Structure 1
């Protein structure tokens, strides 16, 4: 029997739905599935209050996660595979998932094969690379990465995703914008990955550590988001450090900094998108090789080679 641990943190429910679809074909007598919802000791509201939403930004970027409650699984138990399903907050893995990976409980990943499943709007690149780093730091063996993003064009999700976070509403907006979150079809399609694993259970305990999901379209990289995200991460870092200098989450001293960050973010996003478009048009021939190399990094390990 193979032992599979599914770790997740969810707010809107999309992450849990994605994880359930992913392991649909693993729910068999040959597999022992263990589910673990990561629970921070200081939980985060959903729907979010506007200030609280922006107030988690510094800790996301600075990798200062909250304490979490002890997981229910036995700390000494050895799993053949761990599936980590997570959201992206401010270009970084959601704080509760960071909390797990920075805790003593993350030793369950040591010398164990790990598959990551990210569910987010569209800018997942930085968070994915951060996850790879954190998994490596605790000795996990990252064999696959799967990405599923929210439905609708970028300008639509720029409205529908914040509406979902701040109101909890997923339905169509203004009669024209698509529902928020991930399409049902995209959620259901994740079951193909679980089927692939179920058909290759022996690979979970071999020593090759090769990707199991290669060739199944686990990761699709939209190149138009690469430059805006790189710029965003560059801008985020100093703001996060300044805000943290003025206090911890909820501190009155850092409120002005958080408000200023939120205002500049709303104003800067359209400028960054326009700048990145012009930049790509003008310098694409010069950057093409570096861009393709970065795309290969983002697609790894599932699309390695």
Structure 2
């Protein structure tokens, strides 16, 4: 099988990532020709092809810098030595911290007894404030680094600040996790958390006094629903890690399976004990007579959920094994 995921392919893909589509073909041709000439020259001088390829790409440097030079794009927010390192770090922090901050803000507002219609506004405000502070303080750190006499040193010398290297190039042909999948997962998680809160505070089923009748038992707010929000935050963090890896890894698959087992086992135990769903919800909808024995309904539902979760875990393992086999 032809290798379509060489270092050169990965480097060029990284360089083309921020280049307008109309200009990508020209840049790709120039880059491939330039890299091929440099590699051939090194091979003629006695280097092996893999060594020559790696040395050539290392000499070219960060592909983002290369693309910026090609486009004549200014990168002087912090200075060219630190700009792309700052940008990579800030993107990572925003992807991880903002979803967690949104979920935490919802939980805090709920515990304070804030009405749902106000929760949305405070969550948006909180997320914007977190984003502004995160951007400001991260930028300030890099500005201080650049103006403290460290500008003549490599950015890699800054503790905790990752510099570019060939090992950071994504696997172009084998990437299986895209940004669309990540965004859908995060948005779906946030919406699910909102629905959990909404069904308790507003809902669409009401009792004779006009108060909302929740789908989930109110007693769950003592421990189980806050624990659910924690699990949702962890699942978002895992999704971000999986996106950055580009494909499933053994550690991420194991962590995801453990999260599924812990979360769904707790949910199924509560369901089978009759401690998850508030049956008053169905009583108000007049569906109790049609369902018959609730224990039978719970058991059938539990089997369906368990089978779905098991299939999801097996599917993740299969994808991981396939990705590992392809990489090998």
TM-score normalised over the length of structure 1: 0.28
More helix by share: 2
Q: Which has the higher strand share?
A: 1
The TM-score with structure 2 as length reference comes to 0.27
Bigger CA radius of gyration: 2
Greater relative contact order (Cα < 8 A, sep 6+) = 1
